[in-house]
């Protein structure tokens, strides 16, 4: 193996992936396992998590499944404690669960607000805090939180979702500031438009789907699998001096105007 290749290897490391049953979480679990990590597939859907773990093992990777609702503080603490007890350490956390209620802010209900903030921001905080405590004691580790292009650009109907994704950036930066002295790194991945169960309602409307595709420089949506490489990078020693950062994986969405192709 070339030295450069080994930078991206995660052999023997324990990686917890929250939201592993589908979408970016599933792709992350496969990517981390291919890099040699033991993928702990955690999800509120235990059957889905087990299915992914089985598929990883069938592909000759190492994986286990854990039922976990990241909005349940006691469940999070218990699950992280059990993982630590079994494996003696946790080297990587990738947290992907999110929900969106698309509607104007003036008609948003308090319960809808609580639902979105409760999962996207509070739930992510709970799992990150629990794992960070383990990493703080072992003085190593990498945490990857899932932000979004909506952390810096929004549109009608995305207000609360966007606020949570912006909040996650500051949460990650603060974790990075507090954990840096013990060698724990914390970063965000900010996807653009990715084909996942969360975005399925958009795909079912061709004009909406195409408008988003045409907004970015590559002119297309991403597959969930295209998020795995950046996540493996941030989990691995290849990013050993990267912390408190936001890696935009958006096909150029935030780099270009995208509304009109002028004659040049």
Task: Identify the residue whose tokens are 């929900």.
Answer: 99
Among residues 37, 40, 11, 9, the alpha carbon closest in space to that of 233 is found at 9
91 in Cβ contact with 134 (< 8 Å): no
Catalytic residue at 161?
yes
Element (H, E) at 82: helix 73-87
State how far the Cα of 64 lies from the Cα of 54, in Å rounded to an integer: 8
Q: What is the pLDDT of residue 166?
A: 98
State how far the Cα of 258 lies from the Cα of 248, in Å rounded to an integer: 16
State how far the Cα of 138 lies from the Cα of 132, in Å rounded to an integer: 10
* pTM exceeds 0.85: yes
- Supply angle C-alpha 18, 24, 25, rounded to 5: 20
Q: What is the pLDDT of residue 4?
A: 52
DSSP 8-state secondary structure symbol assigned to residue 188: E
Q: Along the chain (264 residues), what's the average pLDDT of each consecutive run of 10 residues?
A: 74 98 97 98 98 98 98 98 98 97 97 98 98 98 98 96 98 98 98 87 88 93 97 98 98 88 78
State how far the Cα of 73 lies from the Cα of 116, in Å rounded to an integer: 16
State how far the Cα of 154 lies from the Cα of 164, in Å rounded to an integer: 12
Q: What is the pLDDT of residue 197?
A: 80
Choosing from 161, 209, 212, 241, the catalytic residue is 161
Q: What is the pLDDT of residue 5?
A: 67
Helix (H, G, I), strand (E, B) or coil at 104: coil
For the record, the structure tokens of 238 come out as: 């290849």
Report the b/e string of 3-35 with b at 16+ CB within 10 A: eeeeebbbeebbbbbbbbbbbbbbbbbbbbbbb
Q: Which alpha helices (H) appear in 103-251, and where do they start and end?
A: 110-117, 124-138, 159-179, 200-203, 206-215, 228-235
Structural domains of the chain in order of their starting residue, each with its CATH number: 3-248 (3.40.50.720)
């Amino acid at each position: 193996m070339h030295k450069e290749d080994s930078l991206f290897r995660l052999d023997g490391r324990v990686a917890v992936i929250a939201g592993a049953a589908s979408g970016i979480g599933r792709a992350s679990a496969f990517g981390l396992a291919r890099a040699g990590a033991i993928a702990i597939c955690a999800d509120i859907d235990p059957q889905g998590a087990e299915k992914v773990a089985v598929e990883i093992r069938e592909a000759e990777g190492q994986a286990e499944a854990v039922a976990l609702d990241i909005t349940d503080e006691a469940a999070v603490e218990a699950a992280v404690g059990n993982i630590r007890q079994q494996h003696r350490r946790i080297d990587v956390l990738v947290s992907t669960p999110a929900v969106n209620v698309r509607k104007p802010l003036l008609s948003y209900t308090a319960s809808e607000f609580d639902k979105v903030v409760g999962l996207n921001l509070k739930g992510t905080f709970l799992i990150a805090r629990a794992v960070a405590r383990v990493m703080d004691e072992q003085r190593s580790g990498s945490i990857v939180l899932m932000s979004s292009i909506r952390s810096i650009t929004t549109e009608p109907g995305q207000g609360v979702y966007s606020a949570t994704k912006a909040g996650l950036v500051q949460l990650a930066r603060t974790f990075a500031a507090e954990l840096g002295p013990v060698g724990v790194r914390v970063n965000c991945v900010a996807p653009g438009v990715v084909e996942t169960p969360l975005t399925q309602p958009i795909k079912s409307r061709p004009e909406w789907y195409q408008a988003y595709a045409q907004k970015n420089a590559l002119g297309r949506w991403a597959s969930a699998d295209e998020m795995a490489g950046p996540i493996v990078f941030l989990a691995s020693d290849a990013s050993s001096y990267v912390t408190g950062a936001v890696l935009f994986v958006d096909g150029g969405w935030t780099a270009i105007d995208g509304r009109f192709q002028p004659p040049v």
